[in-house]
């Protein structure tokens, strides 16, 4: 499969630099503002955009993302509007990869077949669906791959080598390493442990590995460490999660 995600990481490898992956909740605080934020992210340095699909019960997320999703839902955001937001974004940017991130329920309610057709036509490149394990690949993962969308799987600190093989099966685009146990934002990860975990995962796959982390310094990290940061702004607790290069980092991507 060759899409914007793969092409972006190939280009980054050729440039010898790290990627910045950003997250913002679709429709937070309203559709127009959310679209403006998404359009601004590539100019702020984003290499890949993760766009949250609002859901009423985001079990793996902490208060900030929960609040962002609820604000979006109260503002009338739904899956149709989220795909419309991607479509509008694509009118001015046909290069930056977009990954929809969230939970299976909104996709299921929309209808898997219809969702995949509409997501592909809107310009979505990949999916991160946090509550679908490998045992449920037939629900969405395999149909998504068939439709030409990357399906990005999550690994955690409790994912041992035996389980990792199942996690990596059918995974494409990149692997997302969740560096802490518990909900998003519950604790700060140990960068040394994150680096060791990324190295272990890389022994099992050639895919880029994304890892939730925060660096100890603001300058470029060592080539031995994860080398691209996902970040959230200082007003994280009061507004939608969105990132810029000057914001507090949260997610890292390893070199390929």
Most confident among 63-72, 112-121, 179-188 (mean pLDDT): 112-121
Alpha-carbon separation of residue 10 from 98, 181, 191, 205 (angstroms): 16, 31, 25, 16
Q: Which comes out higher in pLDDT, residue 183 or 143?
A: 143
According to DSSP, residue 131 is labeled T
- 151 contact partners, CB below 8 Å, separation of at least 6: 126, 127, 129, 140, 141, 144, 145, 170, 171, 172, 173
Sheet containing strand 209-212, strands side by side: 154-155, 175-177, 209-212, 248-253, 229-232
Q: Is the pLDDT at 238 greater than 50, yes or no?
A: no
User: Per the residue annotation, which of 6, 28, 47, 50 is the catalytic one?
Assistant: 50
- Tell me how far CA of residue 47 lies from CA of 93, 173, 228, in angstroms: 12, 13, 10
> What is the arithmetic mean of pLDDT over 222-242?
35
131 is catalytic: no
Three-class SS state of 41: coil
How many domains in the chain? 1
Inter-axis angle of helices 79-90 and 112-122, nearest 10: 20
From the candidates 6, 28, 61, 118, give the one annotated as an active-site residue.
Answer: 61
Phi, psi of 155 (to 5 degrees): -115, 155
Whichever domain contains 100, its CATH number is 3.20.20.70
Q: Please choose, from the candidates 12, 10, 2, the residue with its C-alpha nearest in 3D space to the C-alpha of residue 228.
A: 12
Q: What is the mean pLDDT of the chain?
A: 81
pTM (predicted TM-score):
0.80
Assign 124 to helix, strand or coil.
coil
**pLDDT exceeds cutoff 90 at 117:** yes
Active site residue 138: no
The first and second tokens of residue 187, run together, are 């604790």
Q: What is the pLDDT of residue 254?
A: 37
Report the SS3 class of residue 211: strand
Q: How large is the average pLDDT for residues 133-161?
A: 93
Mean pLDDT of 129-133: 93
Mean per-residue pLDDT for 201-210? 88
Domain coverage including residue 223: 4-253
Q: What is the pLDDT of residues 11-53, one digit of tens each?
A: 998 998 878 889 999 999 999 999 999 999 999 999 999 999 9
Q: Is 158 exposed, middle or buried (0-12, 13-18, 19+ CB in 10 A)?
A: exposed
How confident is the model at residue 176, as a pLDDT? Answer: 86
Residue of 256, 251, 250 lying closest to 201 (CA atoms): 256
Max mean pLDDT range (5-19, 34-48, 152-166, 238-252)? 34-48
Residues paired with residue 24 on neighbouring β-strands, in sequence order: 51
């Amino acid at each position: 499969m060759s899409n914007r995600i793969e092409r972006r990481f190939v280009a980054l490898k050729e440039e010898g630099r790290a990627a910045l992956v950003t997250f913002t909740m679709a429709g937070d605080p309203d559709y127009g503002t959310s679209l403006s934020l998404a359009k601004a992210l590539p100019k702020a340095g984003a290499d890949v955009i993760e766009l949250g699909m609002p859901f009423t019960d985001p079990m793996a997320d902490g208060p900030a993302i929960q609040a962002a999703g609820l604000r979006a839902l109260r503002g009338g955001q739904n899956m149709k509007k989220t795909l419309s937001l991607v479509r509008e974004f694509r009118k001015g940017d046909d290069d930056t990869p977009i990954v929809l991130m969230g939970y299976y329920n909104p996709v299921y309610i929309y209808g898997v077949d219809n969702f995949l057709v509409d997501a592909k036509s809107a310009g979505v490149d990949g999916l991160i669906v946090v509550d679908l394990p490998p045992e449920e690949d037939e629900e969405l993962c395999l149909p998504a791959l068939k439709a030409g969308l990357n399906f990005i799987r999550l690994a955690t600190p409790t994912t041992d080598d035996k389980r990792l093989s199942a996690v990596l099966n059918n995974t494409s685009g990149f692997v997302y390493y969740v560096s802490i146990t518990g909900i998003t934002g519950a604790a700060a990860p140990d960068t040394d442990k994150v680096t060791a975990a990324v190295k272990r995962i890389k022994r099992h796959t050639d895919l880029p590995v994304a890892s939730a982390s925060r660096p100890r310094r603001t300058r470029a990290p060592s080539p031995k460490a994860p080398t691209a940061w996902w970040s959230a702004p200082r007003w994280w607790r009061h507004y939608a999660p969105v990132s810029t290069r000057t914001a507090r980092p949260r997610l890292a991507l390893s070199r390929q």
